[in-house]
C-alpha cells in the first residue's frame, strides 16, 4: 500500500511560474497525495492561479506570513501524510516522481530520508543534470550535503520530531532540517538514488540569485549553533567574526561526542567559502581560523589546496598590506 505524501508548496509573488508547478504535481496522479499551497498574500495574480487548481488541493491560503519557513510550518500543522516533501512554486516535479518516492518508502520501513537528483533549468529553457550526494560516504551527508530540496522526502514522524522548520531561517531551512533529522536518526536510514525527480528553475528573482550572502550567513549561523552546542566555542567565535549570527535559532541534539564531526563541518565551510579573501572581516576571520588547532591530517585533497591558497593570502598581516599585495599581483603578476 502506498503511503500518503504531504507535499507543500510555499509561494509568494510567483504567478509566472506557479501554474506550471501545480500542473507538474497534479499530473502525477499519485493516489495518496495531500497537496497544500501556502501563499504569503501575493498581489501578482497568484490567487487566481491557485483558485483554478483548488479542487486538486487539500488546503490552501493566501495571507501574510513570516516567511517561507512559517509557510511550511502552517502546512505541517494540517498535514496527515506519512511522508513530507516540498516543492517551491517556481520549481517542478518530473513525471512519475511521486510514484517512485511512494514505492521506495512502502518497500522499506527503515527508510527515513530519500534524496535523489534534479535538473537545473536555465532562463533560456535549457536543462542540465545537477550533482547528487555520495551514498557511499555517510560523513559527507553531514559535512558537505547537497540538499536537493525539490527531490528530498522525509518520514513525517522525523520531521515532527525535529519540530518542523526553524522559522528564524529564511534561506537554509532545508539544510538545517536535514541536519536535525540526521543528528537524531543517523545516516542508516538515508537513501540516495540517481533518479531525476524534479526541476530546479534558475531565474533572476530567485533567492539563490539575489540572496547569496544571506545563504552563507545563515549556514554560518547554523554551524555556529552546532559548534557552541558541541563545546567548540573557538570555532564558533571564528564564524561570528565574518558572519552576523542569526538570533533565535533552535538548539541541536549534540554533545561532546559530536565534536570531531562538527569541527569538520565548520572547517569544510570556511575553506570552501573563504579560501579567497575579499574583505577586512574575512581576513580577520581567516587569520583567527589559522590559529586554531586544525585536524590537518583529515583534510581532503581539495581542502589542502584551498588551505595552501589561503595561507598564501594570509602572509599579509594587515588589511592594508593585503590590499597592496593584491594590487601588486594584479599589476605585475
- Is pLDDT at 134 greater than 90 in this prediction? no
Range of the domain at 284: 211-332
Q: Tell me how crowded residue 45 is: count the other CB atoms within 10 A of its CB.
A: 13
Q: Are residues 164 and 91 in the same domain?
A: yes
Q: Are residues 165 and 233 in the same domain?
A: no
- Is pLDDT at 330 greater than 80 in this prediction? no
Q: Among 183, 208, 233, give the residue marking a domain's end.
A: 208
Main-chain phi, psi angles of 238, to 5 degrees: -60, -50
- Is pLDDT at 6 greater than 70 in this prediction? yes
Place of cell 496522479: 29
Q: Are residues 239 and 187 in the same domain?
A: no
- 80: nearest Cα among 28, 35, 22, 111: 35
Q: What's the pTM? A: 0.95
Q: Are residues 282 and 240 in the same domain?
A: yes
Tens digits of residue pLDDT in 280-321: 999 999 999 999 988 888 899 999 999 999 999 999 888 988
277 and 289 Cβ atoms separated by less than 8 Å: no
**Which residues pair with residue 119 across a beta bridge?**
129, 199
Q: Are residues 118 and 249 in the same domain?
A: no
Contacts of 79 (CB under 8 A, 6+ apart): 6, 8, 34, 36, 156
Q: Are residues 82 and 193 in the same domain?
A: yes
Q: What is the CATH number of the domain that holds 180?
A: 3.90.550.10
Q: What is the mean pLDDT of residues 138-152?
A: 94
Mean pLDDT rounded to a whole number for the chain: 94
- Is pLDDT at 332 greater than 90 in this prediction? no
Q: Are residues 176 and 244 in the same domain?
A: no
Q: What is the mean pLDDT of residues 202-214?
A: 80
Calpha distance 117→107 (Å, rounded): 20
pLDDT of residue 300: 92
- Is pLDDT at 155 greater than 70 in this prediction? yes
Q: How many domains, in total, are found in the chain? A: 2
Tens digits of residue pLDDT in 54-98: 999 999 999 999 999 999 999 999 999 999 999 999 999 999 999
Q: Are residues 88 and 9 in the same domain?
A: yes
pLDDT of residue 333: 63
Amino acid at each position: 500500500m502506498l503511503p500518503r505524501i504531504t507535499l507543500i508548496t510555499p509561494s509568494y509573488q510567483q504567478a509566472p511560474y506557479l501554474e506550471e508547478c501545480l500542473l507538474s504535481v497534479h499530473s502525477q496522479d499519485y493516489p495518496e497525495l495531500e497537496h497544500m499551497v501556502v501563499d504569503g498574500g501575493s498581489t501578482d495574480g497568484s490567487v487566481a492561479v491557485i483558485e483554478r487548481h483548488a479542487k486538486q488541493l487539500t488546503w490552501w491560503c493566501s495571507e501574510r506570513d513570516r516567511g517561507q519557513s512559517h509557510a511550511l510550518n502552517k502546512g505541517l500543522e494540517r498535514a496527515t501524510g506519512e511522508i513530507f516533501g516540498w516543492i517551491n512554486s517556481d520549481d517542478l516535479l518530473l513525471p512519475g516522481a511521486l510514484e517512485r518516492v511512494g514505492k521506495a518508502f512502502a518497500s522499506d520501513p527503515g527508510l527515513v530520508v530519500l534524496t535523489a537528483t534534479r535538473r537545473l533549468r536555465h532562463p533560456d529553457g535549457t536543462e542540465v543534470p545537477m550533482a547528487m550526494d555520495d551514498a557511499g560516504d555517510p560523513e559527507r551527508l553531514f559535512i558537505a550535503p547537497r540538499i536537493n530540496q525539490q527531490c528530498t522526502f522525509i518520514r513525517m514522524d522525523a520531521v515532527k520530531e525535529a519540530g518542523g522548520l526553524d522559522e528564524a531561517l529564511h534561506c537554509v531551512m532545508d539544510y538545517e532540517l536535514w541536519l536535525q533529522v540526521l543528528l537524531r536518526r543517523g545516516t542508516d536510514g538515508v537513501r540516495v538514488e540517481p533518479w531525476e525527480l524534479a526541476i530546479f528553475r534558475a531565474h533572476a528573482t530567485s533567492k539563490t540569485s539575489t540572496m547569496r550572502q544571506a545563504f552563507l550567513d545563515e549556514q554560518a549561523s547554523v554551524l555556529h549553533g552546532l559548534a557552541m552546542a558541541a563545546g567548540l566555542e573557538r570555532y564558533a567565535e571564528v564564524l561570528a567574526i565574518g558572519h552576523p549570527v542569526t538570533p533565535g535559532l533552535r538548539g541541536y541534539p549534540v554533545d561532546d561526542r559530536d565534536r570531531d564531526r562538527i569541527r569538520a563541518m565548520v572547517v569544510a565551510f570556511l575553506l570552501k567559502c573563504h579560501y579567497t579573501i575579499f574583505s577586512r572581516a574575512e581576513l580577520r576571520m581567516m587569520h583567527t581560523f589559522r590559529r586554531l588547532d586544525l585536524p590537518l591530517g583529515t583534510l581532503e585533497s581539495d581542502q589542502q589546496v584551498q588551505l595552501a591558497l589561503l595561507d598564501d593570502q594570509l602572509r599579509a598581516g594587515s588589511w592594508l598590506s593585503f590590499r597592496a599585495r593584491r594590487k601588486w599581483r594584479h599589476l605585475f603578476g
